[in-house]
Amino acid sequence: MMKLIKLIIVILLCVAGQSSFSQSDCFNNKVLEPSEIYPLTPLPQIRLNDLMWHRRLWREIDVTEKINQLLYFPNAKEERSCSFYDFVIGSINKGYIKAYGVENDAFTNELTPEKLIYITGDSVLVDGKLTYKPLDSRDVVKYWLKEDWFFDANYSKIEVRILGICAVKIKKDINGNILGYQQLFWLYYPHIRATLNNQEAFKKVKEDDPRVSYDDIFVKRLFNSSIMLKEGEKLLEVKQNKTELDIKLENEKTKSYYFNNNTKLWGN
């Protein structure tokens, strides 16, 4: 019986997340190990004494927006063959990066690839029978970021560091009706940068075109987003009124959600 269960898990691992574009297509062209294929540019070190103001916030990237299409599932006319989500799942299955549970965003509960199968998929009715359906990458329509924003007195500029990325899918019932949004897993960003840096977000048209990796998209802020939640503290009391950082963040658009404790889902 145990051998049969293990065989089923292996089969599910092979098909999980696949659709008309296969996850394996992401890895056909080169070995995407987090090595020195493309050296990772480290972010500048920040000294605690140089932090004037600090704000922690959570924001949302809606990949269905045109400007965020580099992170969404490609259409048949594009050169690339997988979505950002497929690339992430493939990297998790190969052991290049780790995924963490959504019980909190502190990256404390590491998830195995086997457990991710049941977290990401859905149960649907097929010919009157309840059947497990692997996640279609097109249903992963949002990514939530956990970020630290701060003012660096040494360089006299506002900086941002991404701490985590959470994949969010559209949750459906057994009949295919949309129930809301479901968090799938968190990724600790500092530990996955090298892997993201080795995967191009899109194929270059010309040889002299600049290379754009998935790490470039996040570090260089090549996306549109909305603030969901703010949480902050002043590390150094400089003045009582709002800081330059507060004003900058208030000028960004915001998005609100409610969390349903009964369904454990997020809704507008």
Q: CA dist 258 to 106, 169, 253, 266, Å?
A: 21, 16, 17, 6
Predicted local distance difference test score (pLDDT) of residue 232: 57
| The pLDDT of residue 195 | 92
Q: Is the Cβ–Cβ distance between 138 and 19 less than 8 Å?
A: yes
DSSP character for 200?
Answer: B
Q: H or E stretch including 124?
A: strand 122-126
pLDDT of residue 5: 36
Identity of the amino acid at 63: V
The span from the CA of 190 to the CA of 195, in Å, is 10
pLDDT of 124 reads 72
Asked whether the whole model's pTM tops 0.85, one would answer: no
Residue 197 tokens, joined: 């840096």
pLDDT of 91-110, one tens digit each? 999 899 999 999 999 999 99
On whether the CB atoms of residues 172 and 122 are closer than 8 A, the answer is yes
What is the per-residue pLDDT across 23-66, written as a single tens digit (0 to 9) for each?
444 544 443 455 557 888 888 888 888 888 888 899 999 999 98
Which stretches in the chain have pLDDT values below 50?
Answer: 1-25, 27-32, 77, 233, 235-239
Which tokens in the block code for residue 28? 């056909």
Burial status of residue 38 (CB atoms within 10 A of its CB: 0-12, 13-18, 19 or more): middle
pLDDT value of residue 242: 60
pLDDT of res. 268: 62
